[in-house]
Amino acid sequence: MANFFATFPPMWRSVPALAALALMSTALHGCGDRDPDRTAVIDLLPEQIGGWTRSASATYYDRETIFDYINGAGEVYRSYAFNQVVVAVYAGSQGPDITVELFDMGGPADAYGVFSHAREREEAGIGGGYEQRGRVLCFWQDRYYVCVASEERTADSDRALLDVARAISQRLPPASDPPDLVAMLPGDGLVASSQRFFHLHQSLNYHYYLARENILELSSETDAVLARYAPGSTYLLLVRYASDSDAAGALTSFKRGYLPDAGESRTVETENGMFVSYGSRDRFVVVVLDAVSETAANDLLQATLNGLRQPPN
């Protein structure tokens, strides 16, 4: 089956498969909790939703065959613990057909991560959160990321997308909270829906180009969240490593590769007149980028460090 979402404008087609995926390498996040039982996955999609009936056949793609469906964009999913996606079509008796993509992302954190990859705004009421742009509605819930699309936009299609998405949501496990790392971000000045959760260096460089080399030593063992803050367009990066020593080594690597002349100062003015601030605590590394003043950089850094906490054992 051809990729239905390839017919959409590039802005929406990029959720979450954005166009500049040449920046993404073949480095993979872990395999996650693979579930080869495709029948169990398709059973999450109701056979009947109002006036729409699910087609008898569905198409499945896994980590190896995902490129047959969305070409290079598959690297976005493979940078998380993506297992498989099932694609099904609902034929409507009084309206355009609706195509559904249900992605098993291996766990709730990575389902949120792929949802956050290109999110512009977020609404509550379906799953852990949803976004609708034109003929497409996407949401995340538990370990699943779901996109629902109408072949054409009509007076009734927006309501149809909501009805189909809600019906699928009711079949999924209960909604989860965003990853705990996201909850550790300071609330003051946070730009709504700007949080991006990921693991790999290539993902960081997509959202904020830091350096060609992996100077923060990101890997499948790291969790990271990047968010924007006001005033200006300040970025806050929070990374959790597997151990305290890994975090310490990553911070040393960052200072050597990004701020070689910083000395002992943890806040540095860069060539563009903006400020960078950095620090660590236990397994965490915090980096503030493009702050408008030294005070703003220090305040955001300290507020983040003060809010850090370890996950329960």
22 φ, ψ to 5°? -65, -20
Confidence of residue 261 (pLDDT cuts 50, 70, 90): confident
**Torsion over CA: 138, 139, 145, 149 (sign):** negative
Tell me how far CA of residue 5 lies from CA of 147, 148, 164, 280, 295, in angstroms.
Answer: 9, 10, 17, 41, 45
Give pLDDT, residue 19.
29
Q: Which CATH superfamily does the domain covering 180-306 fall into?
A: PknH-like extracellular domain (3.40.1000.70)
pLDDT at 15 over 80: no
Mean pLDDT of 139-153: 94
pLDDT at 26 over 70: no
Give pLDDT, residue 312.
54
pTM (2 d.p.): 0.87
Give pLDDT, residue 23.
30
Give the tens place of pLDDT for each residue, 33-58.
444 455 578 889 999 998 899 998 99
- Residue percentage of the chain with pLDDT more than 70: 86
Cα 72 to the center of its chain, rounded Å? 17
Residues of the chain with CATH 3.40.1000.70: 180-306
